[in-house]
Amino acid sequence: MSNGHMTDLRTLAPGLADPAHDAQQLFRAVLDATSRPGRIVSLPAAPAGPGTPSAAATAYLLTLADRDTPVWLADAFDRPEVRDFLRFHAGAPIVTKRAEAVFAVLASATPQPFEGFNLGSDAYPDRSATLIVEVPDLRGGPTRQWHGPGIDGRAAVAVAGLAEDFWQDWAANHTLFPCGVDIVFTARTELCALPRSVAVEV
Amino acid sequence: MADDAYNYAYLDEQTKRMIRRAILKAVAVPGYQVPFGGREMPLPYGWGTGGIQVTAAIIGRDDTLKVIDQGADDTTNAVSIRRFFAKVAEVATTTRTDEATVIQTRHRVPETPLREGQILVFQVPIPEPLRMLEPRETETRTLHALSEYGVMQVSLYESIARHGRISKGYNYPVMVNGRYIMSPSPIPKFDNPKLDRSPALQLYGAGREKRIYAVPPYTPVKSLDFDDHPFEIETWEQCCALCGSKESFLDEMIVDDDGKHLFVCSDTDYCERRRTLPEAAE
């Protein structure tokens, strides 16, 4: 694109085809995933989006982001076509400071994944950020035991592509409860949620 | 067909997104009351405006909706809300607990056990369990933040000192996942055990106070009590005069001017199923 300030409508990827109904279906899948952590939920209605991040990450933002929710993009996704897509379809401001983000899109290799995001406060823990973490696969990684609200006993989850210290950082995040960030892992058209209430055995 | 003058499910998409974000945060912090930008709804506060906004934000054309008021599908509040969603959300409705994907309720939890994938939406008049003990919102917010719940234990103790037992019969406070004290809405305490580790998702909406809170599936929900005064639910000497149930929550009905009375199930679907299907009565 020659002009960074103009959205080129000829190359802009389409958003939700049927906004009210597609957003409803996507939200229910997200709600299902969030209320049953560790379950891999498929988003068949997810549009392809700008190509990167995944269709699932894009669908999550199209469903929940708007002018009230600043979005932070990791370097891997901070590209003109992604910014244009989110600005045009969601109207979401793109921010460069992690602390200002309501939603953040991270790659599995993004360094210091939890550093600097809004954790909420003891009085208002709901104000914390939600991190969308793009991973190569939701299956096939090292298996870890998750337990907490939404899980009947324990769930064996094998998200691939995460560094070992990611889970130590998560343990620190979990101990902040009720504060702390919430995570949604995304790959292709699937997602899996990890709310702050869930403990992961390292 | 939905009325084209309104967006699908009545609320505009911006409002739905805001409510949806609040619901997800509520699920992430079980029992914590998330403030949301409650909208004016086409019915007065006290008629389920909070529950309706939650239902409107989640419901879709694939859903089957059940609405109950005090356990009954055929009371004014339940009928009007069911019709509202049939009209604005093109949604199928049912009175059957087992067929519903979304159940909006005022003041009861169905007798029929809920299953995974079902969502129970509670209408909540006063979301703050500490409100009658501490009227200031700034104070109750701090008490929740610090998990400082002595005032609630004292109030239950005073009830024992005065009445010999915890006299609260409905809206009986619960501890969610060991962290937040929560109002289960004015359900009878009989229903409290059904909230504990339920396979269904519980969403609570308070319209006037503009709060949403949630209990995810399989989450521990403990009714507050003392070691020497354990939590107990109501029991009846009578059984249901219509279906004979000894296990369900019974309403007392006055049937003539001489004060003749009988007890019947509060849950109309449960009672009717037992009467029409003999095997259900086993």
Domains of chain A are: 3-200 (3.40.50.11310)
Which pLDDT value is given to residue B280? Answer: 63
Report helix, strand or coil for A11. Answer: coil
Residue type, B143: L
DSSP class per residue in B120-158:
EEEE-S---TTTTT---HHHHHHHHHHT--HHHHHHHHH
The whole-model pTM stands at 0.96
Distance (Å, whole) CA A90 – CA B85? 27
Known catalytic residue at B271: yes
Question: What confidence tens digit (pLDDT) does each residue in B74-107 have?
Answer: 999 999 999 999 999 999 999 999 999 999 999 9
CB-CB neighbors (< 8 A) of A154 in chain B: none
How far is A105 from A61, CA to CA, in rounded Å?
9
A124 and A114 in contact (C-beta within 8 Å)?
no
Residue B244 appears among annotated catalytic residues: no
Measure CA B201 to chain center.
12
- Catalytic residue status for B71: no
Neighbours of B278 (CB within 10 A): 8
Per-residue confidence (pLDDT) for residue B1, from 0 to 100:
46
Contact status of A33 with chain B (Cβ, < 8 Å): no
Cα distance between the two ends of chain A: 44
Distance from CA of B125 to the nearest CA of A (A): 21
* pLDDT, tens digit only, all 202 positions of chain A: 444 567 778 889 999 999 999 999 999 999 999 999 999 999 988 999 998 999 999 999 999 999 999 999 999 999 999 999 999 999 999 999 999 999 999 999 999 999 999 999 999 999 999 999 999 999 999 999 999 999 999 999 999 999 989 999 999 999 999 999 999 999 999 999 999 999 999 8
In CATH terms, the superfamily for domain B13-223 is Bacterial phosphonate metabolism protein PhnH (3.40.50.11310)
* pLDDT number for residue A44: 80
Tens-digit pLDDT profile for residues B255-271: 999 999 999 999 999 99
Is A30 in the B-facing interface, judged by CB distances under 8 Å?
yes
Of these residues, B48, B205, B243, B259, which one is catalytic? Answer: B243
Q: Are B248 and B240 in contact (CB under 8 A)?
A: yes
Q: Length of chain A, please?
A: 202
At A144, the amino acid letter reads R
Determine the residue type at B81. I
Question: What burial class does residue B20 get, using C-beta atoms within 10 Å of its C-beta: 0-12 exposed, 13-18 middle, 19+ buried?
Answer: buried
Q: For chain A, percent helix, then strand, then coil, each to nearest 5?
A: 30, 20, 55
Direct distance between the N- and C-terminal alpha carbons of chain B, in angstroms, rounded to an integer: 41
Would you kindly state where each structural domain of chain B is located, as residue ranges?
A: 13-223, 235-282
